[in-house]
Amino acid sequence: MRIFLDANILITVLNKEYPLYNHAARILSLSKSSRFTIYTSPICLAIAFYFATKKSGEIKAKEKIRTLIENIKLTSVNEKTCLQAAQNPMIHDYEDGLQYYSAVDKKCQAIITTDTEDFYFSEIEILTCEQFIESCF
């Protein structure tokens, strides 16, 4: 199964934000399973890096981002995804549209986020960490 992790999930893991940390870290650990392919976008990494620097400093945040990159796959944000997000009249938050269409481009079957309402326009499944774990295990 291909899943996309929104920036807020990455931030939860990088900053060890409880109570969601345990669930988010468990999902991230699925990158080692042959059943799952975990994706995120370069934009999500940039957002996560920003918040990780606030808690851990720049050097430690770069180490954490590097570890993420080594363990998950990245989607692309390109002309096609930018246009799709801009042309969809249902999308009011352009950044969410970019994440969504980059996930669609990689054929992700679910987006994992703490803010499921952000993807009200989605045609693929949108789940919280808890919902994803309950549905898969």
Q: What is the pLDDT of residues 52-62, one digit of tens each?
A: 999 999 999 99
pTM: 0.95
Say how far apart CA 57 and CA 40 lie, in whole Å: 22
1-34 pLDDT per residue, tens? 999 999 999 999 999 999 999 999 999 999 999 9
Q: Residue 80: pLDDT band by 50, 70, 90 thresholds?
A: very high
The stretch 101-113 carries a mean pLDDT of 98
39: three-class secondary structure by DSSP: strand
Query: Residue holding tokens 């703490």?
Result: 114
Which fold does the domain 2-136 belong to in CATH? Rossmann fold (3.40.50)
* CA-based nearest residue to 17, from 135, 131, 129, 133: 129
- Residue 136 confidence (pLDDT): 83
Neighbour tally for 33: CB within 10 Å: 10
Residue % of the chain over a pLDDT of 70: 100
- Give the domain ranges of the chain: 2-136
